[in-house]
Amino acid sequence: MLEPVLSATVLVVESATHLEELAAICAGAGVPIPERLSVVGLDTAGGDTAHAWTHVTVPLRAIGARAVEILLDVLDGRRELTHHERLACGFEPGATLARPP
């Protein structure tokens, strides 16, 4: 199962459940985190995990609220359909990110 990622040095994983599953797979395959493979969670701060995962926090409510505002502006002709914006994400250092081996 780890063959596709053997040359990878970092993985970004979406959920706390997947993070813990990956940790078990890596432990079983003898792939230490983060010494051999860094792992970063995507918005996993609220997840129930056994590890101090490094993770990126995504402002989901702010994204949703802004998307509705922009949609209303587009529908009212105040913005172009191609309008886009970026909202900043946060970074929570944990114990699962290291320099590549």
pLDDT in tens, 30-75: 999 999 999 999 875 556 678 899 999 988 899 999 999 999 999 9
* pLDDT at residue 1, as a whole number: 53
| Residue 5 scores a pLDDT above 70 | no
* pLDDT at residue 96, as a whole number: 95
- Distance from C-alpha of 37 to C-alpha of 19, rounded to nearest angstrom: 13
- Distance from C-alpha of 3 to C-alpha of 7, rounded to nearest angstrom: 8
Backbone angles phi, psi at 22, to 5 degrees: -65, -40
